[in-house]
A and B are shown apart, each in its own frame.
Chain A
Amino acid sequence: MAKYSVIVHVSPLPGVLDPSAAAVMRALPALGFNGVSNAQIGKVITFDVDSNDIDSARAEVSEMCQHLLANPVIEIYSIDIAPAEKSVNA
């Protein structure tokens, strides 16, 4: 077993209205920041997972995304995964 660090990015499905991003896009020009487009507001979920190898870790995290971490009806996700640096407890 090895420990892997995982970063899951969850963002609104392209084409799905993102009301919070729309609000930010309206607010930025009010502060003088012009020329901003394509804003999206999503979530970043980070955790460590124990697994035999990086491929099985990735497969497991993918399952987690499909069943809980993201709702495929309105969200897409991407997964960054890498061997965890040794912690003091390791």
Chain B
Amino acid sequence: MSSSTIAIPIFPGTNCEEDVAHAIKLFGGIAKPIYHTETNLDGIDGIVIPGGFAHGDYLRTGAIARFSPIMAAVEKLSRKGVPVLGICNGFQILCEANMLPGALQKNEGMKFICTETELEVISSSPITSRLEQGARVQIPINHFEGNYTCDEKTFDELKKNNQIVLRYTNNPNGSRDSIAGICNQQRNIVGLMPHPERACEKILGNDDGAEMIKSFLDAVVSSRMALPA
């Protein structure tokens, strides 16, 4: 099978698109940065919404990005089962777009946190399929609004459907139940605050994120085989 083409939507203020593109290419994918005004995603096999400050994070993180023209196309593809990954600001955008439940609010300690965190793999998903449940990985975080929250009902559903994908082992930001990443019920949309794309090479001092990016590319290949050509 030919290489998978991964769209990387770019909003005004996105700043992690190069890191994501580098990681995708490193493991054999084709990275295709696409500006947020585009509505045509023909030929796209998977989508990674990268980190940054889309539309300046005005009003709330992700609140304006959600209405960018590309998001309707992203949502449409996701309904066909195409894997969608939102990293950091990408996670915030997916929550605002109601493609993932809950919301990300300001960190509990009112501090911007930029550090490496330890994550525990809770369930299999498009970014954790290559990792064992209970496995621990070191992945950097870099955010002010990473404090995951949701109401009781949503939380019960997350637990019941195994939608919690990753937890912090040492909750750095006050997230409910130490949640670092979740997926939707269909398990093709994943959002997480940590940045696996920044930890993919030994030369950077940490390649724990490599298996996560490779897992995502695996999920994209599986979805391509399942979808009519």
Contact = CB atoms under 8 A, between A and B. Distances in A.
Contacts of A22: 110
**Secondary structure dominating the interface of A:** helix
Given A71-B96, A74-B105, A17 B63 contact: no
B42 interface: no
Interface stretch (B113-121, B147-155, B196-204, B218-226): B147-155
Interface in B97-113: 102-103, 105-110
B102 to A, nearest CB: 6
A23 B67 CA distance: 32
Q: Which of A20, A22, A23, A68 has the most CB of B within 10 A?
A: A68
Contacts of B108: 17, 19
Contact of B109 (A16, A19, A69, A74): A19
A16 B149 CA distance: 8
B175 to A, nearest CB: 11
Contacts of A16: 105, 149
B177 to A, nearest CB: 14
A74 B103 contact: yes
**Which of B67, B103, B108, B150 has the most A CB atoms < 10 Å from its CB?**
B103
Interface of B: 59-60, 63, 67, 95-96, 102-103, 105-110, 147, 149-151, 174
Given A71-B60, A71-B103, 10 more contacts: A19-B110, A20-B110, A22-B110, A23-B110, A68-B59, A68-B63, A69-B59, A73-B95, A73-B102, A73-B150
Interface of A: 16-17, 19-20, 22-23, 68-69, 71, 73-74
